[in-house]
Every structure is written in C-alpha cells, then in structure tokens.
Structure 1
Amino acid sequence: MTSATTITTALEPVHRERLMRLAREISFDAGARLFEEGHRADRFWIVRTGTVALDLHVPGRRPAVVETLGHGELVGWSWHFPPHVWHLGAEAMSPVRAWEFDAEEVLAMCAADAEFGRAIAVWVGRVVAQRLHSSRVRLLDLYAPYGSGSLA
C-alpha cells in the first residue's frame, strides 16, 4: 500500500482526529477471520500492529490471498458503498491490534458534514484504486505469459 492511502497521510489532521474519536481498540488472534466475502459490511478497521491478509473465495480450494495489509492501513472498504457487502474476506496472519469503526456512525458523520464526508470518500476511493491495481498486478504475475513486467 502506498503512503497516500495510510491513515496517517491520507487524511488531514482535523479529519483524522474526528474519525479517531469513533475508534474502538480491538485485537485478533492469528488465524481469526475479520470478515467473509458476501457478508454484510458494517464496520472497518485500521491496523495498529500485525498483518491482515485479504483473500478471495475459490471453490474447492483455500482462499487466494490478494493483498497483505499492515500498520496504518484500512481493512475493509465495502462498508462505504451500497449494497454494503464484503467483496473479499480477511484473516489475521499474526496477532493484530486495530482500531475498529462502526460504519453507520462514520457514514452518519459523512452525511452531516460534507467536507468530512468528501475527505473520507477520497481516502476510501484511493484505497479501492490501489487495491484494484494490486489485484491486477497479482493476476498478471499469476496468469500472464511473461509476468506483470513494468506498468509504466
């Protein structure tokens, strides 16, 4: 993930501080599932310590890891877009400490304050774009005849 999408650099301090007022500290043991693909997306997390793998359900096989997230990164963006259903699954690869956010609370704050809402939307949009790019590169590595090469 690029620094432009981590919480410490993606949001202006005033918006970051406002968002962090809603944070709840939580921890996950290694191997814990944070969410499952296709289930209701009603919360999200920012990783404090540890590693979270995003994965994709593959029938008859183990889930395929598409990206690994660490300190300062957003885990989950599906809460921001209707129909609010997870597009991927997520698993703690190591013990994880994170800040957890209730999506309805954050969305209500976004609706009440257009400037805050725009800042959150731009941040989440950057995360989605970065994850799409990462998934594309991973697919090219796996299936293209010459790997991903340079995407100049």
Structure 2
Amino acid sequence: MFNPTREQVRQFFCGAWRKHVERLPLDGAEVTAADLIAEHPEYHALLLRPEEAQEKEFTPDGGQTNPFLHLSLHLAIAEQISIDQPPGILAAYQALRQRLDVHDAEHAIMECLGEALWRAQRSGGTLDGMQYLECVRRAAG
C-alpha cells in the first residue's frame, strides 16, 4: 500500500499544478490532480509556492481547510469511482449526478468518506466500506 509522507503529498500537488500552469506533460494521477486543482482556485497561489506550502500548518482552530487533505480526498474519490471500489460506489455516484454537478457530487461523497475515516480512526479499526457506501446512497436520495 502506498503511504506517502506529508511532504510527498504536498510535493505531488504543487508539482502537478506547476506542470499544468507551465503546460508541461502530466503523468498518471497528475492529470486528475491538475483537473481537481483547477476546480479550486482558492488553492492556486499556495500551490505555486511550494516552499510555503511545505511549511504551512492547517489546524482546526486556524479556520482554514487543509487544501492537501481536501485534494487528496477528491483524488481518492475519483479513484474509487473509476474502479467501482467499494463495489456500488459508481452507481451511487451516478445517482448523485442526477441532481448534482461533478464537484458537488464529489463533495457529498467526501462528507461520507470523512465520516467513515473518522469512525475508523476513532475505533482504531479499518474503514467500514458498507457503512461508507450506505452513507453515499442516502446522500443520493
């Protein structure tokens, strides 16, 4: 299992955005990452300052969303949908898309994923894929 460090995640997103801005070829997940970043203009300036991005702390009491966590969750959801894992996530996503645009549908799934990750962390266990999928299905209505 790939388990990148905080520094590697930040380098990945900063690098993907730099390549996109400079119109350089993107490899693999960088294509998806650049597309996701394009949907988040509030992150563009930070991602073009990798030194600052590496050092910046995003704490709950600071009131800022961690752009690297946010983008990582988007990337995870895009991957889940592309391979239908957990099984049924693609159909649930398609149901969400009946009433929401792509970005809003991903954000609805992100709420469920965040809750599932929080539960797994709190219990010291693994993510409950069925509970996660049920949450997404409920969001789809």
What is the TM-score normalised by the length of structure 1? 0.28
From the two aligned structures, give the one with the greater strand fraction.
1
From the two aligned structures, give the one with the greater helix fraction.
2
